[in-house]
Amino acid sequence: MSDDIQPIVMPKWGLAMEEGALTSWLVENGAAVEKGQEIAEIETSKLANVFESPVAGTVRRLVAKEGEVLPVGALLAVLAPASVPEADIDSFVASFVVEAPTDAEAAGAPVERKLGRGGRTLVFKAAGLQNEATPVVLIHGFGGDSDNWLFNIDELAKSRPVYAVDLPGHGKSSKTLATGDLGELAQAVVDLIDEVGAGKVHLVGHSLGGAVAFQILRDRPERVASIAGIAPVGLGDRVNADFVEGFIAAQKRKDVKAALQLLLSDPDLVSSQMIEGVLRFKRLEGAKEALRAIADRNLPSGRQTASFRDLVEQDRVPVMIVWGERDGILDPAAAQGLSSSVEVVRVEAAGHMPHLEAASTINSKLAGHFDDADRR
């Protein structure tokens, strides 16, 4: 059997996923696919998303049928060069065995950890702790939580320790804030870095989390190995107030849905489970007040209060900026005109959440960025 045959299997999106439904194929037999190309739509009981090919190659067989529900790890398709005979593809499909997740994989799965400081709790996920390389800290945006990195954390944790924080006022962390300013949010992340015993870390910040990463570079540059800002706050002047205010005010499913749809280039990706997830956060005592305080400090009346353009251009550490071209929250034009030391990556088919909408592209860009920074 040829070694050139590559299986495409049902992905595992998050700890709870056991099976998924292949809603539709986006490629045909014989198509040449790139790594990261959208090849199928997959739906779980929690979410629906496009599945990006983990490898490049030629599609030789679409094994899974549209509408079929299959366990994680089940064979979806086979990629192989045209030179591989059909008989080899047949026997590959016939002999394919779904592998149960190994203990090592289970051991590398994200675990939840807590850290107490002055009566408040900071909750974060940790993954890939068996790795030696410089750790990565993922910082979500306004109203988000560590689950925003669902499509990134496992991939990044293959080669590095990864920590995904729930910022103060968000997710499972305490909702009480001193002021909600960037200094407070940045200090919480530094507390996490201290807690896990890391010297320097690669910071990845999305949206407001990008501004938190820049703030850490300003306050504690000795702890920062590199920064990747995904549609970060702090480079432009404006923010879509309809989103910020709509997200804070929304109490009903419909209003939450309208706010979330502003985040994505494909509004159909907003599922009932995502909406209920946001409502679950917003129902928690103190959550709404925390969002209000953070918005008033950092994103009042459609404005961004912090500017980090000068800091970013000082080239103290490698900085990469990623932006979805269809971002409806923060204008991608903010990445224009930065000094050449800053690597700017534009993602055409993504809105404000490129790490969700174009996950494998972003994952490989991030991995390359971390490796380059480590060599520098």
Partner 1 sequence: MSKKSYREAIREAIASEMRRDPRVVIMGEDVSGGTGAAGEQDAWGGPLGVTKGLFPEFGPTRVLDTPITEGAFIGAAAGAAATGLRPVAELMFVDFMGVCFDQIFNQAAKFRYMFGGKAVTPLVIRTMYGAGFRAASQHSQCLYPLFTHIPGLKVALPSSPYEAKGLLIQAIRDDDPVIFFEHKVMYDDTGDVPDESYTIPFGEANITREGKDATIVAFGRMVNFANQAADELKRDGVSATVIDPRTTSPLDTETILDSVSETGRLVVVDEAHPRCSMAADIARLVAEEAFDDLKAPIKTVTAPHTPVPFAASLEDIYVPSPAKIREAVLAVAKGRS
Residues forming contacts to partner 1 in the complex (CB under 8 A) are 21, 45, 67, 69, 172, 175, 251-253, 271-272, 275-276, 280, 283-286
Nearer to partner 1, 179 or 272 (CB): 272
Q: Is 80 helix (H, G, I), strand (E, B) or coil?
A: coil
Instruction: Let me know: does 31 contact 58? Beta carbons within 8 Å.
Output: yes
Q: Which is nearer to partner 1, 174 or 187 (CB)?
A: 174
**Please, what is the minimum distance in Å from the beta carbon of residue 108 to partner 1?**
22
Whole-angstrom distance, CA of residue 227 vs CA of residue 338: 15
Amino acid identity of residue 318, one-letter, is P
* Cα 248 versus chain centre, distance: 22
Using CA atoms, how far residue 215 sits from 30, 206, 374, in Å, is: 49, 13, 21
For the bound state, the minimum distance from the C-beta of residue 284 to partner 1, rounded and expressed in Å, comes to: 5
Q: How far is the CB of 294 from partner 1 (least distance, A)?
A: 18
Which tokens is 167 given?
Answer: 């910022």
Nearer to partner 1, 267 or 302 (CB): 267
Quick count: other Cβ atoms within 10 Å of Cβ 117?
15
Instruction: Specify the residue for token string 């959208």.
Output: 38
Query: Which residue reads 């860009």 in tokens?
Result: 365
Could you tell me the smallest distance in angstroms from the CB atom of residue 264 to partner 1? 16
According to DSSP H, which parts of 170-271 are helical?
A: 182-195, 208-219, 241-249, 253-261
Residue 285 or 310 with smaller CB distance to partner 1: 285
At closest approach, how far in Å is the CB of 278 from partner 1? 13
Dihedral sign of CA atoms 10, 21, 323, 192 in order: negative
Q: How far is the CB of 148 from partner 1 (least distance, A)?
A: 16
The residue among 10 and 366 lying less far from partner 1, judged by its C-beta, is 10
Residue 287 CA, chain-centre distance (Å), reads 22
Which residue, 180 or 354, is less far from partner 1 as judged by CB?
180
Closer residue to partner 1 (CB): 42 or 216: 42
CB of 310 to partner 1, least distance (A): 40
Encoding tokens for residue 227? 């920064």
Q: State the Cα torsion 350-352-353-354 to the nearest 10°.
A: 40
